[in-house]
Amino acid sequence: MSSLSSFITEFKGGNRANRYQVSGKVGPNDPSAGLNKFFVRAASLPPSQVNEIRVPYRGRILKWPGDRVYQPWTIRILDESTKDRDLWTAFHKWSDEINDHVDNFNQLSGPDQGLERFTFNWTVQQVDESSNPLKTIELIGCWPSLVGPIDMDANSVDTLVEFNVVVNYQYYKVAGINP
């Protein structure tokens, strides 16, 4: 059994949950490179699941690995509304270009345009105290499926404006695992 002093000597401090960064283009008509990095208040590294294929065999159920499923990823963004930087509006504009609010029309389609026209790759990194990446995941083919509301409350005088975005993506690559 180890003592407290050996634990203190051997444990190097661990990773911190508040050290991360998210970067990626917010929509196809994002004129500002400033929207490529934004402040996410809360996120997690996205999950993936390998479903099982259940095969009945001689009174037992054999389980085999099946298809991998990537769950939607929810992030909580700190809104910035300045002349050049309005994230809530930028996410809504991106969503509107995928399926217009009024006309119910995809503004991004065309004969030579596919999925890559309205989806973009994002990077999620867990970083150390010097902003060096510890873990990196690249989300492939991101697009917003839900842009949440901005809550307004006259009693909230000392809080920042936040909103949720649910991001769908095709799959992700984990640095050091995927080629």
pTM, to two decimals: 0.75
Q: Which of 99, 139, 146 is closest to 118 using CA atoms?
A: 99
Give the integer Cα–Cα distance in Å for 121 and 142: 6
Which tens digit of pLDDT belongs to each residue from 31-73?
A: 554 556 777 777 777 888 999 999 999 999 999 999 999 999 9
Out of 2.30.110, 3.40.50, 1.10.1740, 3.30.70, select the CATH number for domain 14-174: 2.30.110
Domain spans of the chain?
Answer: 14-174
Tokens of 87: 């994230």
Tens digit of each residue's pLDDT (9 = 90 or more) over 112-159 = 555 667 888 998 888 877 878 888 889 999 999 999 998 888 888 888
